[in-house]
Amino acid sequence: MAYHSFLLEPISCHSWNKDRTQIALCPNNHDVHIYKKDGTKWTKIHELKEHNGQVTGIDWAPESNRIVTCGTDRNAYVWSLKGEVWKPTLVILRINRAARCVSWSPKENKFAVGSGSRLISICYFEQENDWWVCKHIKKPIRSTVLSLDWHPNNVLLAAGSCDFKCRVFSAYIKEVEEKPGPTVWGSKMPFGEVLFESGPSGVSGGAGEGAGGGWVHGVCFSHSGNRLAWTSHDSTVAIAEGGKTSTISSLSSETLPLLCVSFITENSLVAAGHDCYPVLFVYDGTKGSVTFGGKLDVPKQTSQRGISARERFQNLDRRATSSETTEQGLESLHKNSISQISVLEGGKSKCSTFCTTGMDGGMVTWDVKSLESDLKDLKIV
Amino acid sequence: MAKNTLSSRFRKLDIDEFDENKFVDDHDEPVDNQGPDGAEIDNLIRQYPLRDMMTAFHIALRNPPVNTKNPAIKERALAIVLRVLTSFKSSDIEPAVKSLDRSGVDLLMKYIYRGFEKPSDNSSAILLQWHEKAFAVGGLGSIVRVLTARKTV
């Protein structure tokens, strides 16, 4: 587990290039910095300055090597590398509020931008006029779109929003692709069609609960696209399976809300959030249940120091317990909330390394194999 | 006030009600969740310590009035639950909390926080004890769910 502290400011968003030697991140200002890995050191090689507002989303397309960024200035730029310099192309999103998240589609011929204008802009490149055009998905979104994830078939898009719902839309653009075949989520997919909408979180949980849910912070399709997981602000994580969408399995966790989630195998997901450490969840498809798999972090170092009487009273005064441990700060690697998780190696089906960035300006790369061996009762199915 | 008519009636308008982008919750009001049955609880409490407080507890937590917007029903339910909670002995609290499932703990937390809103002489101490035990089982997540729940008890 390597922890690298990039800056003192929070890292708003990040994205890796194809061979994972370069990372583009936003240090909570209007720019995007690209760092290159030299052994164990990171050096800044590019600064992309074009946005007039904080950059809220970055995505680096691995095959075509283009970066799309979106920001609170209501714009998105597509950057292409010309020689040694990144050149931006403005994309008119036609939104009147900030853009919140952006994601290239799997085939990289279009990208989706979620915004505070309660809509998703699907942008594709029009050859004749040599510019990026966008189409809007408006209904039935009632509030800011916080997170997006594409289905592997390049047409379906999952969106988590502040109106407490997670939805799967069809983003089929007839100008750039052929009609998609049927999937478990549905067979008729005209543009903007809602194929799945979650009820408030906890729909299949306790009988009278239906607690109304919270903002949906993170969504993720599994590698096959048959499963969709989302985390919500009421500290729950839920998984729906396409085809069996009437039953949503959800788990009310005991942690603080989780902000981001990613599948690492078809049955396991890693999520992280305000608790500053990633947690593992295991989904059992046959029983339709989500269970807590374990906390993924450095093992606890217990110190066997004796404690003096004076310290005991001091602890009692300050913390109302005369406990032995004198933990000054958090025991986790990250010292502040984790805002984004990205899979580095292995894809979403057999992930072997993933990376987290957070509000403490640090980035940690986690190795799944060594986590499994370090934390004894961890099982990744 | 308005210059030409010298009237301040426009100040009584709630302009947010006319905003076409206003978020309206989709709320339905089934009539079955009318709150726990007061008479049954009274009976059980009167027979305490002969009777089992656990059954009173479980009955009190049944049928929470989460779906209605009627404040009278909610007040009544709250009063009943608080009566049960305050008549528990300290040593009985932990097994009672342990007997609840996940959604029950969340519901208990909601009632505890509602009870905190109107402290009376002896309610705060016992509610804090309930809170400590419920927190040990539910964790921070259960408190977050109290804060984010749109259907309040």
Residue listed under structure tokens 């909570």: A28
A207 at interface of B, judged by CB pairs closer than 8 A: yes
Distance separating alpha carbons of residues A70 and A93, to the nearest angstrom: 10
pLDDT of residue A315: 77
* Cross-chain residue pair A257–B21, CB shorter than 8 Å: no
Distance separating alpha carbons of residues B39 and B76, to the nearest angstrom: 12
Q: How far is B8 from chain A (nearest CA, A)?
A: 34
The number of angstroms, rounded, from the C-alpha of A281 to the middle of its chain's C-alpha atoms is 15
Pair A78, A66: CB distance under 8 Å: yes
Residue B103 has its nearest CB partner, among A206, A235, A257, at: A206
Task: Indicate the burial class of A119 (C-beta count within 10 angstroms; 0-12, 13-18, 19 or more).
Answer: buried
Q: pLDDT averaged over consecutive 10-residue blocks of chain B (153 residues)?
A: 79 81 62 59 60 71 73 82 83 86 88 87 86 91 88 76
Integer CA distances (angstroms), B13 to A225, A262, B20, B115, B119, in order: 50, 47, 16, 34, 35
Residue closest to A351 by CA, chosen among A367, A362, A371, A374 = A367
Q: Strands of A156-161's sheet, edge to edge?
A: A145-150, A156-161, A166-170, A194-197
* Cross-chain residue pair A206–B64, CB shorter than 8 Å: no
Residues of chain A scoring pLDDT < 70: 200-212, 245-246, 298-306, 321-329, 376-381
Q: Where are the beta strands (DSSP E) in A208-286?
A: 216-221, 227-232, 236-241, 248-252, 258-263, 268-273, 279-284
pLDDT of residue B46: 62
Distance separating alpha carbons of residues B92 and B53, to the nearest angstrom: 9
* Cross-chain residue pair B148–A211, CB shorter than 8 Å: yes
pLDDT of residue A136: 94
Kindly indicate whether the ipTM for this predicted assembly is greater than 0.85, answering yes or no: no
Beta strand pairing call for A120-126 and A110-115? antiparallel
* Residue A370 CB neighbour total at 10 angstroms: 11
* Cross-chain residue pair A233–B144, CB shorter than 8 Å: yes
DSSP code for B9: G
pLDDT of residue A206: 32
DSSP code for A186: B
pLDDT of residue A210: 37
Distance separating alpha carbons of residues B122 and B131, to the nearest angstrom: 15
DSSP code for B43: H
Q: B112: Cβ–Cβ under 8 A, 6 or more apart, which residues? A: B85, B127, B130, B131, B134
Q: Give SS3 for B11.
A: helix
